[in-house]
Amino acid sequence: MRAWELDKFGLDNLTLVEREKPTIGPTEILVQLQAASINPRDQQIVSGHFSQDVNFPLIPLSDGAGTVVEVGNQVSRVAIGDRVTPLFFPNWMDGDAHSGERRISGGLETQGVLRDFGVYSEDAVVAIAEHLSFAEAACLPCAGLTAWTSLVPIANITSANSVLIQGTGGVAIAALQFAKALGATVIILSSSDKKLERAKRLGADHCINYVDVPNWGEKVFQLAGQGVDLVLEIGGTGTMENSLAAIRNGGHIAIIGYVAGADMGVSVFPLIIKCAHLHGIATGNRENYAAMMNFIEAHGIQPEIGKRYAFNDANKALADLEHGTHFGKLVIDYQL
């Protein structure tokens, strides 16, 4: 089978190789992978900026989708022919991760999806909504579930609520689609008017170019009446002060990323004044992933794919992610 392997840090050290097709155990399944999507974490792992604790050679990328082609003799949860996505955290089934359920993640502690075939526990996959293509389903295990966890299990967003979303990458656009399907009012930020126009076509109610409006927190607060109920915080150091200004009293900030710096750089006073709820979001568990997939199917949601790449161009896709010019997700389609 084809596989991309990283033998040391650096994109130049990611090479396309041939490997034997893996074999399965009694409770395992073999998935023929058909598509993968790229997250910022994947690019950081390859470059060595996420963790130095990597067991090389590593097959990168956590998020993929494919078809079950073999099942072990004790498997009962899935069947040959099922279309599935592997979980980001293969051991995290439900509830909070108190007992090491997050120690293993795809594309880091265990081999990722950038290969033709992968072996998984029958418990570590979820069926794909019928209307989704493999490429669309591959956008969901990390970015989709991160957005869903922020909106529903954490903030319980409904049609009575308002949400501020920072940026137009994979998590942001998934959050926009979910929030609109939930009936919420959505405000979205970007430095690109062209991307904001695309976001408006997907349902965004208000669009703000944060270059033109550097104190966007105050504007968001006014647009929402008494502040938004939830902020999807992707910036970190460069955005937290404005995010606190944007939320209502008792509002939520879901901390997802740190593209503008990992140090939040705020004092306790605005947290106390706003009675703010800050949540670190670490993707989510299988129970919430299945609920998200059911919601996607019920509402006919299709993830927004910014660009597709052939399997042999996976290294180019990783390089392009770093440039930050994409809208939605970058996807590797194994059939191109």
User: In the prediction, which pLDDT does 326 show?
Assistant: 80
pLDDT digits (tens, 9 = 90+) for 264-303: 566 777 788 888 899 999 899 999 999 999 999 999 999 9
HEC assignment per residue over the chain: CEEEEECCCCHHHEEEEECCCCCCCCCEEEEEEEEEECCHHHHHHHHCCCCCCCCCCECCCCEEEEEEEEECCCCCCCCCCCEEEECCCCCCCCCCCCCCCCCCCECCCECCCCECEEEEEHHHEEECCCCCCHHHHCCHHHHHHHHHHHHHHHCCCCCCCEEEEECCCHHHHHHHHHHHHCCCEEEEEECCHHHHHHHHHCCCCEEEECCCCCCHHHHHHHHCCCCEEEEEECCCCCCHHHHHHHEEEEEEEEECCCCCCCCCCCCHHHHHHHCCEEEECCCCCHHHHHHHHHHHHHHCCCCCEEEEEEHHHHHHHHHHHHHCCCCCEEEEECCC
The strand pair at 206-209 and 228-233 is best described as: unpaired
pLDDT digits (tens, 9 = 90+) for 93-138: 999 999 899 999 999 999 999 999 999 999 999 999 999 999 999 9
Is the pLDDT at 193 greater than 70? The verdict is yes
User: In the prediction, which pLDDT does 321 show?
Assistant: 87
User: In the prediction, which pLDDT does 260 show?
Assistant: 45
pLDDT digits (tens, 9 = 90+) for 1-39: 999 999 999 999 999 999 999 999 999 999 999 999 999
| Domains of the chain (ranges, CATH numbers) | 2-139+303-333 (3.90.180.10), 144-280 (3.40.50.720)
For 270-277, which contacts have Cβ atoms below 8 Å and span 24 or more sequence positions?
A: 270/241, 270/244, 270/245, 271/244, 274/244, 274/247, 274/248, 274/249, 274/250, 275/249, 275/250, 276/244, 276/247, 276/250, 276/251, 276/252, 277/250, 277/251, 277/252, 277/253
pLDDT over 90, % of the chain: 87
Q: Is there a contact between 166 and 232 (Cβ–Cβ < 8 Å)?
A: yes
User: In the prediction, which pLDDT does 269 show?
Assistant: 74
The pair of three-digit structure tokens given for residue 6, joined into one six-digit string: 């990283």
Is the pLDDT at 315 greater than 70? The verdict is yes
User: In the prediction, which pLDDT does 229 show?
Assistant: 98
Q: How far is Cα 77 from Cα 65, in angstroms, rounded to an integer?
A: 17
User: In the prediction, which pLDDT does 259 show?
Assistant: 52
Neighbours of 18 (CB within 10 A): 8
Q: For all residues of the chain together, what is the average pLDDT?
A: 94
Highest mean pLDDT among 136-145, 248-257, 321-330: 136-145
The pair of three-digit structure tokens given for residue 166, joined into one six-digit string: 């920072």
User: In the prediction, which pLDDT does 30 show?
Assistant: 98
Q: How confident is the model at residue 263 (pLDDT cuts 50, 70, 90)?
A: low
**270 upstream amide cis, omega within 30 of 0:** no
- Residues paired with residue 263 on neighbouring β-strands, in sequence order: none
pLDDT digits (tens, 9 = 90+) for 151-192: 999 999 999 999 999 999 999 999 999 999 999 999 999 999
pLDDT digits (tens, 9 = 90+) for 51-93: 999 999 999 999 999 999 999 999 999 999 999 999 999 999 9
Q: How far is Cα 115 from Cα 331, in angstroms, rounded to an integer?
A: 14
Is the pLDDT at 262 greater than 80? The verdict is no
